[in-house]
Each structure stands twice: as C-alpha cells, then as structure tokens.
Chains A and B, each alone.
Chain A
Amino acid sequence: MSIQEEIHKAMNELQKKNSSELNISKEDMTLLFLTSLLEEEAPNVRK
C-alpha cells in the first residue's frame, strides 16, 4: 500500500471517529496536519 493509500484509509477512519463525536488525539492531529499540508502544496492549488 502506498503512503497516499495509507493516508486515505486513515482519514476515512478518522472521519468515522469524528462523526461519532469522539475526541481526536494528538496522533490524529499529525495525520490531519499531513493531509492539509499535502493539499496546500498540491501543484494545482491556487497560489
């Protein structure tokens, strides 16, 4: 599994957790940070 697939899978699990109103942990924050940084650095993002 590539890192992109790993991130996608982990994000899906996190969204499920978030929708059931469970607190997100610092560990989750690292994933959210990575995902948002990836989005913001994507070549097609408006600069």
Chain B
Amino acid sequence: MSGNKSTSIGIIQLTRIGDVIQTYQAAKQLKIENPNVELTLVARKEFAQGLHFLLDEVFSHMVFIEIKDFIKSPSSTLMEARNSVKDLVTDLNKLDFDVLVNLSFSKSSEYLASMIEARHKLGLTRNSQNQISIEDSWSQYVFSTVMNSESIPFNLVDLFKNILGAKSFSPEYKEKTREDKIVIHPFASSKKKHWGVNKWVDLCYKVLKENPEQELYVVGGKADQTQAEKLVNSPALGEFSKRIHNMTGKSSIEETFRLVSDAKLLVCHDSMVSHLAAVSQTPTIVLSMGTVRPSETTPYHENVLNLAPKRKCFPCKVQEKCELLPCHKDISHQLVSRLVKGILNQENFDSTFFKEQVSPFYLQNVAIFAPHFSEMGMDLIDITESAQTVQDVFKTFYKIVWSFYFKEQELNYAIPELGKESLATLSEYAKGCSYIYELYGFGMKYSNAVIEEAKKEQPNIKVIQDNINKMGEIDQLCTVTKKTFPLLTPIVDFFFVNKANAKGANILEITQSNLLSFYDGQNMIKVVFDLIDNITRDAVGREPIKEV
C-alpha cells in the first residue's frame, strides 16, 4: 500500500457504538502505517453519528445509514425502497474501492458487502446462493470462534487490526494533568452485565468517603436516567450530594468523552464509555460480569484493570437464563474502592499490595486482569497471580497456535503451574487432541483419494462421492468430539468454516484446498497435544499421538 496512488478502502461496521469505537482504533493504526490510504466508513446512523468528532480524524468519507433512508414514509413502496438502496450502492461504488472490509457480523452488513463493488473483499459477504462467504482467514477465525467460544485470546481491536492488515502495537501512554474527577458509568446493555444500583451505591459511598478531594460524575444515556436518579438520590449518599454530578442523559457522546478525558479515573461495566476512555487513555476499572468476555472487550490501552469473576459459568451465553446472578457477588465493592484509592495514589499493584492491602476474602472469587502489549497485541495478565484454570491455559495455547498460523509469529510463555485436578483435566484433553488428529488424518486420506480419482482421464464418480461422504462423516465425528472436549471447539469450528470456504472452481481444486485445511488442522492439534504433553507429562503417563 505504498506509492503515490491512494488506495481506497471501504469499511462496513453496522454494529453498536462500542464496535464503532474499536473499528476507529484499528483503522487509525492502519492510517498511521499507510497515510496514503483513503478510508470510508459505512455505519448505522444511530451508532456512529455521535462519534463524528473521533471518526473525522481517520475517515475521508463517512456514510451513515438507517432504515428511514430507504423507507421514507408509511406510504413508500417496495420499489422506492429498493431504488433507495440501489442509489446508496451506486454512490458507494463511485468511491472505487480497492478493498472492502466488513467488520460487522450482521446479516444487513453481509448483504451490503455483497452489493458494493471492490477489487478485494474481506469479512462476511453472501454468494449467489445466499450462503455466507468469507475469503480471509482472520474473518473466518472471528466468525467461527468469537460468537461461540470462551477460549478467545485476542482483543477485538487486535482482531480488527489483523483483518485490516495493520500492525499491532502498544498504545503509547501520554502523561497529562487530570482533574479531581472520577467518572462512573454504572450501566450496561443487559441485566447480566450490570451490577445493580445497590452495589453501585455502596461503592460510591466508600469512594467518596475515602477520597474527599474527588468529585463524582455519573454518565449514561437517556435510557439510564431512572436508574441514575435512584443512585444519586439514595439516602446513603445524601451527605455527599454536593460532590455527585448526574450527567446521565444530559451530555452528548463528545461531551462525555471530554469529561472522561480530563478525569483521573473511570469505573464502569463493559460499555462504549470504557472504549472512549481507551481513546483518551484515562485510567479505567472495568467490572466484567455475565456474558462479558474480558479478553475480547477490555478497553484497548495500558491503564486498565478488568475485574472478572472466577466462576465456571462465567462468562455465560446471552441465551442462558440466570435469576440469581451469582457472578455479581464475586466482585466486592470493598475491593473496587481499594483499587480506586490505589490508582489515585499511584500505588503499585504487585504481589505485596495484594498480600498486605487486600483481604484474601475479597480476592477469593475474582481475577484482576491488566493488559500487557506484545507484537501480537494485547494480552491480559491476572495480576493477583492466582492459580490458572484449564480454560486460562487453553487461552495461552490458542494465542500461541493462532499467532503462528496466521502471522508466523512465535510466542513464548512460561509453563503454568496447575493443581492436581486441573492437570488431570488437561491430561484428558490430550485424548481429545488424539481423536481430532486421527480424524484429520482420515480427512487427508479421503481428500487424496478424491484428488487421485479426479485427476484420472475417466474418473469414477462413485469413488469420488463415497470419499466425499466419508469427509462429511469426519465433520460429524469432530462435532461429537468437541462436545466431550469443549475447549477444542475453536480448532474444530475454524477448520470447518475454513473448509466450507475452500477456494476452487471445480471438485479437484476444492478438494486440494480441503486437503490443505486438514493438513493445517492436524498440525495445529499436534502442537496443542505437545503443549499439553509438556505440562502434564511428568504427572500423568500417556499414549503417544496416533498416526493414520
């Protein structure tokens, strides 16, 4: 992307405000690395209009859409609506995109990406049979794993950067003078992700009492006003009323950004305000609960602490019902207020701090993650140095294998220390790896049989069909295996999507692509097997992996 001619890149991001901010962060890096690139953003008006002040920096053109642009009145006809869509596509095509990147995972974005012309397309589109089509490996990875797996080791900004081809970097921290303001955003898009007013009242009371020089600002949207009123008018906070400022529903996103930028600290749930704080590098404490996956959504900068429950059901899935919300109790307001004080006093959060300053009772069920940036982007480190779970270990494995697979980057991590129970569970996973390894081996065998037959002058269609059927059975057996070994799901799902998007114009070319997928999958599962073996070898005896 160097030279005089500017490359025109269109980016589609039709999901929420937080995603638009994360897209901005990734696109900004791309623009820094390639100043000649001309970027266009297509986003939903509802989610992007308020972010003009940020987006203007990076995007040469912005197109904000909403359904009213196409169905202008109740008397509009379908023909008129279709013509309006065609007008939008015609206008976008005038920008002559070299590359079109769909960074959103929604149906409308898939169809829009299919209609816009571009020399290259990345991300989800639809083919002429109305099937999802994904050409690039990073988008295949995001599609196959991000919505379904808890073993995602990458931050969403890094995933966007990887799809766009921008380098990962450590955002340089710029020291600035900050005002004695603490901003809280005690709201979230669902009940599961939200602590509830009472806990926030407890936290505000303690923070205001322990830090008498600080003013407290509550921010949020119009929909949060009732809850905000409950919070600020709580009798428990009566004595501090002059130091509490309720900005909920009264400030634009830009005004909220300015407020957060000048503040000493933001305390919030996983929300768009946390991503605004990442842009201004405001020290932030995020309270993750419910469906939130910290490794994906932690605000992308260095001054963040992300508190997350240590509980088997965390993070849960959106569709799972939970009335008791036990993970909300894992994070105590006493711990959060101690961390607030620590950040304001610039204390060092090392093992001595947690040993001497925090009761072990408050640390029992919570992990405190802090970001660490490397050449592969953001890693989250549990600074309480609590024992790792098998899930944590798999996250590290996946960081290693995906980084090598996609970017040929070799990462080194220390061998984790695990308890007996975790070692036994991890060791069981070696069996799962063996099964998948064997299945992919058969996949290679059947692919080779199809290729050999297809190359003959007069191929036997029955032989080809039989082997293709056998490959279908492999997918079914992989699905069964991943149910028993759920932490292997990312590999199984990725190679399923990878095979489904195999390149090729005929059976021979498609099967050659499939052969490559099985080969890569087998290598990857072998690496995971070896990593497990390294950790558990001395503790548990085991059969070597089987060759097919």
* Closest partner residue, chain A, to B223 (CB atom): A47
B363, CB-defined interface residue at 8 Å: no
A36 touches B189 (CB 8 A): no
| Number of residues from B at the complex interface, CB < 8 A | 32
Interface size class of A (residues with CB under 8 A): 20 to 34
Main secondary structure of the interface of A (DSSP, over half): helix
Residue pair B78, A40 in contact (C-beta under 8 Å) = no
Chain B residues with Cβ below 8 Å from A26 are 115
Chain B residues within an 8 Å CB radius of A34: 67, 70-71, 81-82, 85
B29 at the interface (CB under 8 A from A): no
A24-B86 Cα distance, complex, nearest whole Å: 16
Please determine whether A3 and B77 come into contact, CB atoms closer than 8 angstroms.
Answer: yes
* Alpha-carbon gap, A2 to B78, bound state (A): 9
Evaluate contact between B14 and A23: CB separation under 8 angstroms: no
Docked Cα-Cα span, A47 to B78, in Å, equals 27
- Name B15's closest neighbour in chain A (CB-CB): A40
Closest to B83 in A: A30
Say which residue of B70, B77, B107, B189 sits within 8 Å of A39 (CB atoms): B107
Within 9-47 of A, Cβ neighbours of B (below 8 Å) are at: 10, 18, 21, 23-24, 26-34, 36-41, 46-47
Tell me the complex Cα distance, A17–B282, Å: 54
- Chain A residues with CB under 8 Å of B115's CB are 26, 29-30, 33
**Chain B, 120-158, CB within 8 A of any chain A CB:** 126, 128-130
**Complexed CA–CA distance, A39 and B111 (Å):** 13
Q: Are A32 and B130 in contact (CB under 8 A)?
A: yes
The reply to whether B66 and A30 contact each other, CB–CB distance below 8 Å, is no
In Å, the complex CA distance between A46 and B14 comes to: 14
How many Å lie between the Cα of A33 and that of B67 in the bound state?
Answer: 10
Closest chain B residue to A39 by CB distance?
A: B107
| Docked pose: A37 CA to B65 CA in angstroms | 10
Closest to B110 in A: A36
Q: Decide: A36 and B74 in contact? CB cutoff 8 A.
A: no
* Chain B 42-81 interface 0/1 with A at a Cβ cutoff of 8 Å (1 = within): 0010100000000000000000011100110010111001
Residues B190 and A46 in contact, CB atoms below 8 Å apart: yes
Q: Which chain B residues in 11-30 approach chain A with CB under 8 Å?
A: 14, 16
A15 to B453, CA, bound (A): 36
With known contacts A37-B108, A46-B318, A30–B67 Cβ distance under 8 A: no
Q: A3-B76, A21-B129, A33-B85 are in contact. Are A40 and B318 (CB under 8 A)?
A: no
Q: Which residues of B contact A10 (CB under 8 A)?
A: 78
Shortest C-beta distance, A47 to chain B (Å), equals: 5
Type the 1/0 row for B102-114, where 1 means its CB is closer than 8 Å to any CB of A: 0000111011101
Contact of A33 among B66, B78, B108 (CB under 8 A): B108
Shortest Cβ distance from A32 into chain B, in angstroms? Answer: 5
CA distance A31 to B130 in the complex (A): 12
Chain A residues, Cβ within 8 Å of B70? 34, 37
The answer to whether A30 touches B82, judged by C-beta atoms less than 8 angstroms apart, is: yes
Q: Quick check: A29 and B126 within 8 Å, CB to CB?
A: yes
Cα separation A36 to B126 with both chains bound (whole Å): 13
Which of A2, A29, A37 is most buried by chain B, counting CB atoms within 10 A of its CB?
A: A37
Q: Which residue of B lies closest to A37 (CB)?
A: B108
**Contacting pair B108 A47 (CB below 8 A):** no
Are B128 and A33 within 8 A (Cβ)?
Answer: no
The answer on a CB contact under 8 Å between A23 and B81 is no
7 A-B contact pairs sorted by A residue (CB < 8 Å): A24-B130, A30-B85, A34-B81, A37-B67, A40-B14, A40-B107, A41-B66
B contact set with A: CB distance below 8 Å: 14, 16, 44, 46, 65-67, 70-71, 74, 76-78, 81-82, 85-86, 106-108, 110-112, 114-115, 126, 128-130, 189-190, 318
User: Interface on A for B, CB 8 Å cutoff?
Assistant: 2-3, 6-7, 10, 18, 21, 23-24, 26-34, 36-41, 46-47
Given contacts A18-B129, A40-B107, 9 further A-B contacts (CB under 8 A): A7-B78, A10-B78, A21-B129, A30-B82, A30-B115, A32-B111, A33-B108, A41-B67, A46-B189
